Structures are given as C-alpha cells and as structure tokens.
Amino acid sequence: MTAEASPRLSRSGTRQKTATVLILLLSTMLGLALAEGLTRLFLPGFDPSGQFDFSHHMGDLVLGPPGTETRQAKNTGDFDVLVRINRHGLRDDNDIATAAAGDIVVVGDSFAWGWGVEASQRFSDLLQGLTDRRTFNLSTPTDIEGYAALLAYARSLGAGVGQVVLAVCLENDLRDYAATPAASPGGGFDLKDWLARHSAAYVLLTTIVHRTTWLRDAAVRLGLVVPNLEGIARHEDDPASIDASADRLQALAKQYRLLVVLIPSRALWVGGDRAVEDRLHRAFVAALRSRDIDVLDLRPFFEAGGAPLGYHFANDGHWSPRGHRLAADAISQHLAR
C-alpha cells in the first residue's frame, strides 16, 4: 500500500511546488505591473518614454529623431534639460542646409552635442554670440571617422562648409583607425539600459538610490553602481593610435578650414594611469602640429584654476555649463587671432 501511494504523493507534491512557484511569479509580475502603472500615473516625470534617445539611423551615424522635442535627465539630479531635434536629426535651431562659407560649423561627439546642458549653454551656441558669426552644431556621439561622415552629410544637404571647429575627445576618440573597425553601437543586450529606457518604476527606484547617500554607498559596494570617476576610459600606450588619429584629421584638414579642439581626458587628473594619459595627450598635440593642423589644446585652460574636474558634472563625465563657457571663450579667442 505504501509503495503504491508513494508515486501519487510525489506527483502531488510536485504539482504543489509548481503551483507555488507560478503563484509567486504571477504575484511578482502583478506587483511590478502595479508599481509601473502607479509610477506612470502619479509620477509621470519618471516616465522614460518622454526621455531623449539617439534612434535615427543615417548610414553609420545615429542621430536624434527628426522633429522631436523631449527631455534629457539624469537620475543623480545633475541635469534635466530640453532637447529639440530639427528636421535633419540634429540638435540645432540653425538649419545646416543654409550654412555658407563665412559661417562656423562645430563637429564633435556628445560633448559638442551638449550632453546635459541646454542648447543655449553649449560652446557652439555661445561661440555664435562671441564671434557674431552664424554657428551650426553638427554633432552626435561618434568618433573621428563619424565626424568626416557628419561633414559629408552637411554637404549633401547643400551646406557651404567653411570654418570647421572639430572637437576631439581624448577619452574615446583615439584609436588605430587603419587597423581596428569602429565599435558597433549596441553590441549586446544591457538589462539596466533597457529598464532605464522602458520602466518608470526602475527610473524612480534608481533616482531614490542615487539621491540617498546610504543606499548609493550600498549599491556601490554591491557593484550595482559604478562611481563616475571609476568609469573613465583608459588607453594603452599605443603610438599607432596617435598616428592613425592624426592622419585622419590631416585628411580632413585638406578638405576644410579646420580647427581641432582637444577635449582633455579626465584620466589626466584622476586614477592610476595619469602618466600614460599625459604621454598620449602630449604626443597627440605634437602629432597634429607636425602635420600643420591648427590645434587648440583646452588642457591648459582647464588646469589653470587648479580644479579641472570642476568643469564637469559631479556624476557625469560631460562638461557642465561652466565647462562650455570656458571652451567657448578659448575657441573664440583662438579664431580671432
């Protein structure tokens, strides 16, 4: 009798366990859905659907969605700004298609695009006021090859490209362009990134964590949050990347009236690789000048006050409005020479 009942009891126990797991999963899903719905209903400011995202593909470039107006906010509270994208996928109130030879065209990555600042606070917009010349912003997160593609895009729209101010970010623009292909955007699924783009409840939770000291400290210890200054890109001491990057810029200098503006890496001032970063920085400046490229190195301007990191956001690697003002003043003075 016991031997006959045992299989039935075993099957019954398995069914109960399965039912318990399913109930727990269903309850969790309902709870998450309720939290998401309530957050979107009562705290719509955390709804990520209203947040800016680069999603418009133009060849190898990724631009903003044309004709949109959204916001760009950081859950640490560093910034919450308006982003307007024109019909060309660019963040600019000036229409690049109308650019003429006497105007200034600013090209760069997220720094020049104005990550975290209002459009009017960017060095490109400030430069327009300082020089009394129309200034166009032709920027998106990319690299030196992407800058060439952006300039070609402007010309395809009918732009007369005269003075080009090309901002090179020394944290991530230097590489051996002759040997390594550009890193493809979105190389793999990132759960945190997906949640940040789709879940209001997740945005609310991470905002609370980042703005509550003890919660943020605990998240750092658990490896859930990487402190801003620990996420800086580091370089190998690679002369090939210097020469290849300088060669790419020399090719552009033969096509356009080019001023290369160097955005110094924060790794010059923090972390254990400062000696390597210093050598790379100096070598790159020398490589550009040896190729007769007009170059403006912003490093001395940032270091002049003794606190170069003070021109960046506290929890984000990009320049604050103060950094953009410094850059605009330096560029305008250089152009006026």
Whole-Å CA distances, 86 to 94, 145, 156, 312, 320: 9, 23, 16, 27, 23
Its domain, for residue 34, covers: 2-42
Number of domains composing the chain: 2
Amino acid at 213: T
More confident residue, 29 or 115: 115
Q: Give tens-digit pLDDT for 84-143.
A: 999 999 999 999 999 999 999 999 999 999 999 999 999 999 999 999 999 999 999 999
* 269, HSE (Cβ side, Cα atoms, 13 Å): 17
* Residue 299 in domain: yes
127 in the same domain as 13: no
Measured distance CA(324)–CA(302) in Å, rounded:
11
Measured distance CA(169)–CA(30) in Å, rounded:
45
278 in the same domain as 171: yes
Measured distance CA(306)–CA(90) in Å, rounded:
35
Q: Give tens-digit pLDDT for 10-24.
A: 667 787 888 788 888
Tokens read off for 276: 């390597």
Q: Where are the alpha helices (DSSP H) in 108-179?
A: 110-113, 123-131, 144-156
* Residue 258 in domain: yes
* Residue 30 in domain: yes
* Residue 207 in domain: no
253 in the same domain as 145: yes
Amino acid at 180: T
pLDDT of residue 196: 79
pLDDT band at 300 (very low <50, low <70, confident <90, very high): very high
154 in the same domain as 26: no
pLDDT of residue 1: 42
Query: Is residue 253 within 8 Å of residue 166, measured between CB atoms?
Result: no
Q: Give tens-digit pLDDT for 241-253.
A: 999 999 999 999 9
pLDDT of residue 149: 97
35 in the same domain as 110: no
Residue 291 has pLDDT above 50, yes or no: yes
Measured distance CA(265)–CA(278) in Å, rounded:
9
176 in the same domain as 291: yes
273 in the same domain as 169: yes
* Residue 105 in domain: yes
* Residue 278 in domain: yes
pLDDT band at 67 (very low <50, low <70, confident <90, very high): very high
Q: Give tens-digit pLDDT for 44-54.
A: 778 877 789 99
* Residue 200 in domain: no
157 in the same domain as 14: no
Q: Give tens-digit pLDDT for 169-223.
A: 999 999 999 886 655 545 566 788 788 788 878 888 888 878 888 878 887 787 7
CB 123: neighbour CB atoms within 10 A? Answer: 32
pLDDT band at 9 (very low <50, low <70, confident <90, very high): low
154 in the same domain as 254: yes
pLDDT of residue 29: 84
Q: Give tens-digit pLDDT for 257-276.
A: 999 999 999 999 998 889 99
Query: What is the 8-class DSSP label of residue 60?
Result: T
pLDDT band at 39 (very low <50, low <70, confident <90, very high): confident
What CATH number did the domain enclosing 107 receive? Answer: 3.40.50.1110
148 in the same domain as 7: no
Residue 157 has pLDDT above 70, yes or no: yes
* Residue 67 in domain: no
Give residues with Cβ within 8 angstroms of 103, minimum separation 6: 133, 134, 135, 136, 160, 162, 163
Which one, of 75, 79, 70, lies nearest residue 49 by Cα? Answer: 70
11 in the same domain as 131: no
38 in the same domain as 105: no
